[in-house]
Amino acid sequence: MSARWDRLLQLAQEEVRGTLRRLPRALRPHAERLPVSYEPRPNEALLADGWDPDLLGLFVGQPHGEEHSGCADVPPQILLFLENLWDFAEGDEAVYRAEVRTT
């Protein structure tokens, strides 16, 4: 990957860790078990499903407390699309960090 990707990934991971630390104690253990995946942009399968190519992030899977006894298609996780987040922030690191937290 490129130096830019490495930097975007580092900034995003820092924000995710900080966001987890600021969550209420009761919620934190559940959120810490939720994987966060970092991708440059939505993949072809997501685009084929009708998602916008400018999508910033996506939660997939069953939300906590709404799990059912059957097998889910995918495990719960958060997908962050770092190149899209950077484009949205127009190259402003503070805006990028804030949008990672929000997304």
CA distances from 35 to 14, 19, 66, 67, 89 (A): 14, 14, 17, 16, 24
Residue 62's pLDDT is 73
> Is the distance from CB of 100 to CB of 12 less than 8 angstroms?
yes
Residue 65's pLDDT is 59
Residue 75's pLDDT is 81
Q: What is the pTM of this model?
A: 0.87
Residue 70's pLDDT is 55
Residue 72's pLDDT is 52
Where the chain has pLDDT below 70, the residues are: 63-73
Residue 68's pLDDT is 56
